[in-house]
Structure 1
Amino acid sequence: MKERLEALRTEALQELENVQSPQQLGDLRVKYLGKKGALTEILRGMGGLSAEERPIIGQVANDVRAAIEGVIDAKQEAFQQAETEGRLREETIDVTLPGVRQTAGAIHPLNKVAQEIEDIFTGMGYTIAEGPEVETDFYNFEALNLPKNHPARDMQDSFYVTDDILMRTHTSPVQVRTMKQMNGKPVKVICPGKVYRRDDDDATHSFQFVQVEGLVIDKNIRMSDLKGTLLQFAKQMFGAQTEIRLRPSFFPFTEPSAEVDVTCVKCSGHGCRMCKQTGWLEILGCGMVHPRVLEMGGYDPNEVSGFAFGMGIDRIALLKYGIDDIRHFYTNDIRFLNQFARM
């Protein structure tokens, strides 16, 4: 058995001498030192040795194992060293090369305008309310004085999930939810968020856009309060020289209702192509909350009154920055967005 162990040592060291890769080294470790390796096979025969021979053969086996392991460990270390040196050569950094400049991002123009609007109204004492984008027909239409089959629904044709569930067409449902939560207490909120309508895809319309609506309910709320609020908003958003005018209009959820125009941001009201020589640009709709809407929200229209308004943030951004196509906001064109990084 001693001769077999010595022969195994010689054979193993010769093979290890010619190893060319870590994979080969691993295979030889298993071949000679593994559970089913050559050394283990020889040692299984020690049961037939006498008591005097066992310690002698055991010592020889330990020496053989130590010799093979020593060469394997040395080879493994050499392979690791060679790999490290190769990676250092390949990954060397030339510190004299010019650096790559990291460009700073910027707030998206729609988010920027939304934040400005929120800042203006929170400065007037409003709080911000939010609600789900997938709404029920009741909150989106019926609670806003738009019963089923009402012709005014055609102006807000939407995307339906079921006959009773749809993508909200405005953020007015948040106003209804807020009224119900307040249980007859005064309300002063704005409701920003995404809305969805089946609309023409052109320079001024999109099937999805961002809207913000406002609602105030309390005793003795008047149309003059609404006009003063919107005038203050327009001056802070477009400049102190801005004026507004209200034109009679129709909305099912307000009565009386009005469209609100501001003096043209391009010609300051003198008349130009942008305002079609009128000197005015339409920005939002508003009105006094309809008594039926107050009742649906849990208020007594004989005790309280309120006003509401709604505007498209996209349209405000178009006017504020002089952008000619609403689709620019959603194409993620870095050339377009870079303009706002420099502002």
Structure 2
Amino acid sequence: MTVQSTELEAQLEAIRLEAQQALIEASSLDQLEQLRVKYLGKKGPIPLVLGGMGKLDPSDRPRIGARANEVKEAIQSELDQRRTALQYAKLQAQLESETLDVSMPGVYRSQGRIHPLNTIMDRVNDIFVGLGYTVAEGPEMETDHYNFEALNFLPDHPARDMQDTLFLPDGNILRTHTSSVQIRYMEANEPPIRIIIPGRCYRRDTVDATHTAVFHQIEFLAIDEGLTFTDMKGTVRLFLEQLFGEVAIRMRPSFFPFTEPSAEVDMEWKGRWLEIMGCGMVDPNVLKAVGYDPEVYTGFAGGMGVERLAAVLYQIDDIRRFYTSDSRFLEQF
């Protein structure tokens, strides 16, 4: 059944009005925090509404995604205003009930901020959720089957070597990519599928300015009847334009065991070409591994490093800075 865009717009407007009234009636900062989690959290009503975007006409999805962002921003603005008003009222009540020695120096406590890597993951998730994708998660400790075998890695592939992968005493491994979640999700769900997978990964890399043994990755996967390379290219282009603005992109032939054909994606950034992600059409062997008929279904997938995206957007010269917990660095974000 096709969902009308007007229905989703009406639902979003209803959410905005409901949140607005609830914020007006909030009488404490604790109530305000509960409302923030309720309306702006990952399990709030807006992601539930956006879950129906997959049934929309493709031409309507950008408008609904943009409207969802407008509603979120409106709720956040009203929440901030209400918080300011409640904080002021609380302070006034405290001043009226206490004797304050204004000669005593204040105690400064710095306010925490969202880490830049989490900020990037949230931005990428928001873009893909706006396109009708669902956020999926999976375990960081994996089996060889989910991390390699089901993803069409040959038995003698270098990635299975202990010099590249962190093996555990029980034979399991620390996942080298979030692609293992694709297999787990496909085993549990029938097409059509559109998921975005953020998460932490592990490889035996020597730590330097561009590599760490622990890093973050985001992948996307779409499976349906009739998906083509053109659909993948359009998705990649739209995503990069949403994140970086108007940029030129190009795709170079590459190889990944789980996609065929595969491509590296470059974008023109500050006068030079920069490799930003990899992608490709899902290999038929991967579809067979989860019980899908490759004669009926096709799909595409892509992946990118969160540290790379953050380094480009924030002009960071060394990704190790993200992990030093140096307040002088983190306070810039």
Q: CA deviation at 1:152?
A: 5.2
Identity %: 57
User: How far is 1:100 from its partner?
Assistant: 2.1
Return the offset for 1:95: 4.0
SS of residue in 2 equivalent to 1:339: coil
- Cα offset for 1:151? 3.8
Is 1:179 matched with 2:186? yes
Change (3 A) 1:336 1:234: same
Conserved 8 A contact 2:201-2:214: yes
**Where does residue 118 of structure 1 map in the other structure?**
125
Q: Which residue of 2 aligns with 1:135?
A: 142
User: Which residue pairs with 1:230 in the alignment?
Assistant: 236
* 1:258 lines up with 2:263 in the alignment: yes
Deviation at 1:243, TM superposition (A): 1.9
Matched, 1:102 2:109: yes
Contact in 1 for aligned 2:159/2:165 (Cα 8 Å)? no
Q: Which region of structure 1 is more displaced relative to structure 2, 97-106 or 198-207?
A: 97-106
Distance verdict in 2 for CA 1:178–1:167, change over 3 Å: same
Report the AA paired with residue 200 of structure 2.
K
Give 1:186's aligned amino acid. Answer: P
Shift of 1:185: 2.3
TM-score normalised according to structure 1 size:
0.66
Matched, 1:191 2:197: yes
In structure 2, give the amino acid aligned to 1:280: W
From the superposition, tell whether residues 247 and 153 of structure 1 become closer, same or farther in structure 2 (CA, over 3 Å): farther
Match of 1:308 among 294, 301, 305: 301
The answer (yes or no) to whether the contact 2:187–2:291 under 8 Å persists in 1 is yes
**C-alpha distance in 2, partners of 1:160/1:282?**
29
State the Cα deviation string for residues 94-115 of structure 1 (Å, max 9, x = none): 5412312332221100000000
Distance (Å, rounded) in 2 between the aligned partners of 1:152 and 1:195 = 14
> Which runs of structure 2 are paired with 1:260-279 in the superposition (5 Å)?
260-264=265-269, 267=270, 270=271, 279=272
Distance 1:212 1:242, change over 3 A: same
Residues 217-241 of structure 1, C-alpha deviation per residue, up to 9 Å, x if partnerless? Answer: 00000001111001011111111x2
TM-score by length of 2: 0.68
Distance 1:306 1:115 in 2: 24
Establish whether residue 297 from structure 1 lines up as the match of residue 302 from structure 2.
no
Tell me the equivalent position of 2:325.
Answer: 332
Distance 2:163 2:131 in 1: 30
Please say if residues 156 and 169 of structure 1, whose CA atoms lie closer than 8 Å, have aligned partners that are also in contact. no
Q: Which residue does 1:323 correspond to in 2?
A: 316
Q: Which runs of 5+ in 2 are unaligned?
A: 1-98
8 Å Cα contact 1:109/1:317 also seen in 2:
yes
Pairs within 5 Å for 1:147-226? 147-151=154-158, 153=160, 157-162=164-169, 164-182=171-189, 184-226=190-232
Opposite residue 281 of structure 1, the aligned amino acid is L
Q: Is the 8 A contact 2:158 2:164 kept in 1?
A: no
8 Å CA contact 1:127, 1:190 repeated in 2? yes
Secondary structure of 1:283's aligned partner = strand
- Equivalents in 2 of 1:259, 1:175: separation in Å? 20
Q: Does the 8 Å CA contact 2:142/2:174 hold for their aligned counterparts?
A: yes
Classify 1:213/1:155 alpha carbon distance in 2 versus 1 (closer, same or farther; 3 Å).
Answer: farther
CA distance in 2, matches of 1:285, 1:133: 21
Q: Please report how far the alpha carbon of residue 312 of structure 1 lies from its aligned counterpart in structure 2 after TM superposition.
A: 0.5
Q: What is the match of residue 57 of structure 2?
A: none
5+ residue gaps, structure 1 = 1-91, 271-278
The residue identity in structure 2 corresponding to 1:257 is S
CA RMSD of aligned residues (A): 1.7
- Cα distance in structure 1, aligned partners of 2:257 and 2:162: 11
Aligned to 2:15: none
Shift, 1:186, TM fit:
1.2
CA deviations 1:72-121 (Å, max 9, x no partner) are xxxxxxxxxxxxxxxxxxxx995412312332221100000000000000
Maintained 8 Å contact 2:178/2:219: yes
Letter of the 1:260 partner, please give it: V
Per the alignment, do residues 185 and 210 of structure 1 end up closer, same or farther by CA in structure 2, a change over 3 Å counting? Answer: same
